[in-house]
């Protein structure tokens, strides 16, 4: 029996959420493919890994045992013959014998495609539940299938599990499940075949983690403290720190330092700089918590201090799906990692803020000028008391709050999946972040951040079947968006201004990519910011500016009238 008060609460919340629920200004249903919506190979794989190479004009697509190199300007065209990378049949047999499916699992699903160096890509695949990595020579687009590397800890065994991987300065940072059974989450850096740094295998470090994304932030640049670059990881996990909801799933951000070499005795070959914090996305007054992080997009800026992370979240209230977008600043994340640690108090058997003295150097810190000044040049020189503390206190006490303290966008009855963000300049010379958000049933939401709010420009149905949009990349140079789902891949323009047929429609769209050309009477792409005949009003969408031409015409007519009257 569901208690009555719970029903009333759910009802109240559903009424409240309605007030929060943003509706798109336009809904455009799927209408087949056109110049604006190119598609490619429907039904090639359940999992697509996309990588953009603007310089070579290529989109690399990792699918089931195949890697494609597609022409960015015409995704129906392969720039180079595809690479076949199959798991050998004896591996597949082994995989089937271990109880995995010969239909959906025992193949080599390509899960990592990253720029490795100027000449090569790094790729990793599940290889029928025995992950392997290999290099692809770009000029010939060929895979070195002789020198395969062990992919354990780099790539998942199971293609359906969450994972993330990032190459920074020729080194792979990955977060995945380390073992066949998928019970051992790991965040790892792999240098060469045998030299890796990992997370401790402790529930306090990672507990049933599902990895979502990662980002490199070059924090060593312009840094007075002499701090190191950091790699951030985003994931969900089962929280240990709440007594009353032991089943609670929370979203997290964790970070490690690029130069971390592990400890000398304590934390040998383990991160000495691993710290994690809760990532909050909630509507505080409703007690509505979006705990299921789905994807993260890192918006890079000229200076790393202005880095922003946009993230999609899902939650369920009764039988209603609710989704949100929250934004986080690197500064807010740093503040939390510089704050108090959380600690398990054995006597009280609960978690609380650690309020005793903290060892020096500060546990979980990168090697900075302070360390070097005290004769510690690497994490191997850190004292045991700092490392023991770090091992026991991976979790920060404060949570990372979103910018504005609340979601930017909330929708009901929709599952947001992946997102990508493009920063553009309006005719008013102001910068706007345009958000593209895929859904669980084949739609794309387009929104623009205006001040503290978000305006939902439109929703487009980009797949004819209700498949989840699970991968998304933006080509800024070509103004295209590539979206992958189990139904295949589509390319769509970042803006299709011609669909706004009247001036009012064009202005009310509030799309920073579009403006009304008064002399041509058309809604056009506003990529020429100096056109004085262009009209756009993202902030106050004042359509009276549409009347200008008409008014002038009236004035002209009346002046002619006056002439005749005279």
- Cβ 498 vs Cβ 522: under 8 Å: yes
Binding mask 132-171 for ligand NAG (x = CB under 6 A): ---x------------------------------------
The reply on whether position 517 binds ligand NAG by CB under 6 A is yes
User: Can you tell me which of 440, 442, 484, 488 binds ligand NAG, judged by CB under 6 A?
Assistant: 440
HSE, CB side, 13 Å, CA atoms: give it for residue 557: 6
The reply on whether position 99 binds ligand NAG by CB under 6 A is no
Q: Applying CB under 6 A, which part among 110-118, 172-180, 196-204, 352-360 lies near ligand NAG? A: 110-118
Q: What 8-state DSSP symbol labels residue 240? A: S
Q: Which is nearer to ligand NAG, 133 or 275 (by Cβ)?
A: 133
What's the min distance (Å) between Cβ of 521 and ligand NAG? 8
Full DSSP string of 513-552: TEEEETTTTEEEE---TT-TTEE--TTT--GGGGHHHHHH
Q: Applying CB under 6 A, which part among 187-195, 273-281, 494-502, 528-536 lies near ligand NAG? A: 528-536
The reply on whether position 120 binds ligand NAG by CB under 6 A is yes
The reply on whether position 349 binds ligand NAG by CB under 6 A is no
What whole-number distance in Å separates Cα of residue 172 and Cα of residue 523? 45
What's the min distance (Å) between Cβ of 505 and ligand NAG? 17
- Cβ 22 vs Cβ 410: under 8 Å: yes
**Helix or strand holding residue 179 (H, E):** none
Binding mask 296-325 for ligand NAG (x = CB under 6 A): -------------------------x----
Q: Which residues pair with 516 in a beta bridge?
A: 523, 535
Instruction: Provide the sign of the torsion angle of the four alpha carbons 41, 44, 46, 47, taken in this order.
Output: negative
The reply on whether position 116 binds ligand NAG by CB under 6 A is yes
Q: Which is nearer to ligand NAG, 149 or 184 (by Cβ)?
A: 149
Instruction: Respond yes or no on whether the N-terminal peptide bond of residue 12 is cis (omega within 30° of 0).
Output: no
Q: Which residues pair with 436 in a beta bridge?
A: 420, 446
What's the min distance (Å) between Cβ of 103 and ligand NAG? 6
The reply on whether position 331 binds ligand NAG by CB under 6 A is no
Q: Which is nearer to ligand NAG, 417 or 475 (by Cβ)?
A: 417
The reply on whether position 548 binds ligand NAG by CB under 6 A is no
The reply on whether position 516 binds ligand NAG by CB under 6 A is no
CA-based angle 384:387:389, to the nearest 5? 110
What whole-number distance in Å separates Cα of residue 165 and Cα of residue 181? 20
Burial class of residue 458 (count of CB atoms within 10 Å of its CB; 0-12, 13-18, 19+): middle
Number of Cβ within a 10 Å radius of residue 344: 16
User: Can you tell me which of 441, 461, 498, 549 binds ligand NAG, judged by CB under 6 A?
Assistant: 441
Which of positions 182-241 make contact with ligand NAG (CB under 6 A)? Answer: none
- Cβ 38 vs Cβ 488: under 8 Å: no
Helix, strand, coil share (%) of the chain residues, nearest 5? 15, 40, 45
Number of Cβ within a 10 Å radius of residue 149: 17
The beta strands (E) that lie in 72-200 are given as 74-84, 110-115, 120-125, 132-137, 142-143, 149-150, 164-168, 171-177, 185-191, 195-198
Binding mask 242-271 for ligand NAG (x = CB under 6 A): ------------------------------
The reply on whether position 524 binds ligand NAG by CB under 6 A is yes
- Cβ 128 vs Cβ 108: under 8 Å: yes
Q: Which is nearer to ligand NAG, 89 or 268 (by Cβ)?
A: 89
The reply on whether position 540 binds ligand NAG by CB under 6 A is no
Q: Which is nearer to ligand NAG, 32 or 375 (by Cβ)?
A: 375
Q: Which is nearer to ligand NAG, 400 or 495 (by Cβ)?
A: 495
User: Can you tell me which of 57, 182, 359, 531 binds ligand NAG, judged by CB under 6 A?
Assistant: 531
Q: Applying CB under 6 A, which part among 24-32, 55-63, 324-332, 519-527 lies near ligand NAG? A: 519-527
Using CA atoms, how far residue 405 sits from 296, 328, 417, 474, 537, in Å, is: 18, 10, 22, 28, 27
Q: Applying CB under 6 A, which part among 290-298, 340-348, 373-381, 382-390 lies near ligand NAG? A: 373-381
What's the min distance (Å) between Cβ of 92 and ligand NAG? 8
Q: Applying CB under 6 A, which part among 12-20, 30-38, 348-356, 527-535 lies near ligand NAG? A: 527-535
What is the SS3 assignment for 25? coil
The reply on whether position 102 binds ligand NAG by CB under 6 A is yes
User: Can you tell me which of 34, 377, 385, 428 binds ligand NAG, judged by CB under 6 A?
Assistant: 377
Q: Applying CB under 6 A, which part among 48-56, 270-278, 520-528, 542-550 lies near ligand NAG? A: 520-528
User: Can you tell me which of 312, 327, 415, 536 binds ligand NAG, judged by CB under 6 A?
Assistant: 415
Terminal-residue alpha carbon distance, the chain: 87
The reply on whether position 549 binds ligand NAG by CB under 6 A is no
Q: Which is nearer to ligand NAG, 83 or 336 (by Cβ)?
A: 83
What's the min distance (Å) between Cβ of 321 and ligand NAG? 4
Number of Cβ within a 10 Å radius of residue 329: 17
The reply on whether position 375 binds ligand NAG by CB under 6 A is yes
Residue 219, token pair as written in the block: 């924090």
Residue with token string 């979790």: 395
- Cβ 489 vs Cβ 482: under 8 Å: yes
CA-based angle 215:218:222, to the nearest 5? 155
The reply on whether position 94 binds ligand NAG by CB under 6 A is no
The reply on whether position 115 binds ligand NAG by CB under 6 A is no
Q: How many residues bind ligand NAG (CB under 6 A)?
A: 24
The reply on whether position 119 binds ligand NAG by CB under 6 A is yes
- Cβ 123 vs Cβ 113: under 8 Å: yes
Instruction: Provide the sign of the torsion angle of the four alpha carbons 177, 183, 184, 187, taken in this order.
Output: positive
Residue nearest to ligand NAG (CB): 531
Binding site for ligand NAG (CB under 6 A): 102, 116-120, 135, 321, 375, 377, 381, 413-415, 440-441, 517, 519-520, 524, 528, 531, 533-534
């Amino acid at each position: 029996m569901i208690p009555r008060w719970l029903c009333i609460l759910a009802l109240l919340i559903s009424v409240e959420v309605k007030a929060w629920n943003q509706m798109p200004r336009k809904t455009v249903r799927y209408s087949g493919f056109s110049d604006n919506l190119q598609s490619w190979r429907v039904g090639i794989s359940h999992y697509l890994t996309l990588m953009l190479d603007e310089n070579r004009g290529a989109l690399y697509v990792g699918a089931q045992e195949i890697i494609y190199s597609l022409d960015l300007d015409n995704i129906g065209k392969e720039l180079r013959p595809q690479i076949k990378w199959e798991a050998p049949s004896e591996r597949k047999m082994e995989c089937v014998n271990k109880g995995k499916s010969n239909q959906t699992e025992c193949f080599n699903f390509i899960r990592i495609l990253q720029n490795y160096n100027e000449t090569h890509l790094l790729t990793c695949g599940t290889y029928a539940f025995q992950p392997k990595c290999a290099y692809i020579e770009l000029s010939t687009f060929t895979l070195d299938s002789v020198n395969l590397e062990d992919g354990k800890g780099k790539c998942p065994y199971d293609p359906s599990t969450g994972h993330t991987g990032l190459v920074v300065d020729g080194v792979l940072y990955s977060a995945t499940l380390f073992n066949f059974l998928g019970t051992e989450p790991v965040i790892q850096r792999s240098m060469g075949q045998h030299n890796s740094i990992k997370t401790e295998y402790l529930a306090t470090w990672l507990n049933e983690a599902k990895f979502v994304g990662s980002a490199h932030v070059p924090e060593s640049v312009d840094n007075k403290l002499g701090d190191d670059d950091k790699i951030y990881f985003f994931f969900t996990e089962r929280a240990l720190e709440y007594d009353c909801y032991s089943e609670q799933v929370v979203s997290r951000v964790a970070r490690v330092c690029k130069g971390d070499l592990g400890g000398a005795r304590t934390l040998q070959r383990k991160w000495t700089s691993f710290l994690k914090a809760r990532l909050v996305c909630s509507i505080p007054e409703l007690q509505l918590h979006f705990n299921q992080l789905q994807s993260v997009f890192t918006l890079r800026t000229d200076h790393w201090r202005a880095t922003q992370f946009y993230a999609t979240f899902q939650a369920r209230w009764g039988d209603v799906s609710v989704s949100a977008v929250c934004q986080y600043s690197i500064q807010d994340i740093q503040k939390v990692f510089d704050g108090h640690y959380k600690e398990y108090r054995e006597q009280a058997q609960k978690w609380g803020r650690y309020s005793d003295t903290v060892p020096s150097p500060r546990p979980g810190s990168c090697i900075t000028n302070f360390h070097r000044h005290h004769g510690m040049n690497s994490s191997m020189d850190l004292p045991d008391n700092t490392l023991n503390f770090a091992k026991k206190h991976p979790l920060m006490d404060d949570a990372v709050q979103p910018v504005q303290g609340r979601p930017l966008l909330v929708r009901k009855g929709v599952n947001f999946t992946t997102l990508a963000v493009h920063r553009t300049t309006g005719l008013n010379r102001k910068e706007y972040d345009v958000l593209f958000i895929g859904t669980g049933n084949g739609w794309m939401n387009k929104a623009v951040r205006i001040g503290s709010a978000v305006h939902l420009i439109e929703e487009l149905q980009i797949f004819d079947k209700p498949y989840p949009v699970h991968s998304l990349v933006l080509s800024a140079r070509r103004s295209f968006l590539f979206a992958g789902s189990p139904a295949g891949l589509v390319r769509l323009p970042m803006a299709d201004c011609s669909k706004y047929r009247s001036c009012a429609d064009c202005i009310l769209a509030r799309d920073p990519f579009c403006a009304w050309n008064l002399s041509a009477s058309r809604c056009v792409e506003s990529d020429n910011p100096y056109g004085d005949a262009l009209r756009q009003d993202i902030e106050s969408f004042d359509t009276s500016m549409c009347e200008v031409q008409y008014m002038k015409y009236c004035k002209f007519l009346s002046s002619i009238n006056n002439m005749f009257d005279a």
